[in-house]
Amino acid sequence: MITLIIASFLFSGAALVLGTPLFLMARRKGRPEILRRFFIGAAGIGLFCGLVSARSERLVNQCEVAGNPTCIDYGAVGFQIFALFGYALGAIGSALTLRREPDALRR
Domain that holds residue 93: 2-100
Confidence of residue 104 (pLDDT cuts 50, 70, 90): low
Write the pLDDT tens digit of every residue in 22-37: 999 999 888 899 999 9
Dihedral through CA 41, CA 27, CA 85, CA 56, nearest 10? Answer: -40
- Asked if residue 30 belongs to a domain, the reply is yes
Total domains in the fold of the chain: 1
Q: What percent of the chain has pLDDT over 70?
A: 95
Confidence of residue 107 (pLDDT cuts 50, 70, 90): very low
Specify the pLDDT at position 71: 87
The whole-number average pLDDT for the span 67-71 is 86
- Asked if residue 106 belongs to a domain, the reply is no
DSSP structure string for 26-56: HHHHT-HHHHHHHHHHHHHHHHHHHHHHHHH
Specify the pLDDT at position 101: 80
Specify the pLDDT at position 47: 96
pLDDT at 39 over 70: yes
Sign of CA dihedral 18, 81, 35, 3: negative
Give the distance from CA 71 to its chain's centroid. 26
- Residue 94 makes CB contacts below 8 A (sequence gap 6+) with 22, 26, 34, 38
Quote the pTM value.
Answer: 0.83
Q: Is the distance from CB of 99 to CB of 31 less than 8 angstroms?
A: no
- Asked if residue 105 belongs to a domain, the reply is no
- Asked if residue 24 belongs to a domain, the reply is yes
- Asked if residue 107 belongs to a domain, the reply is no
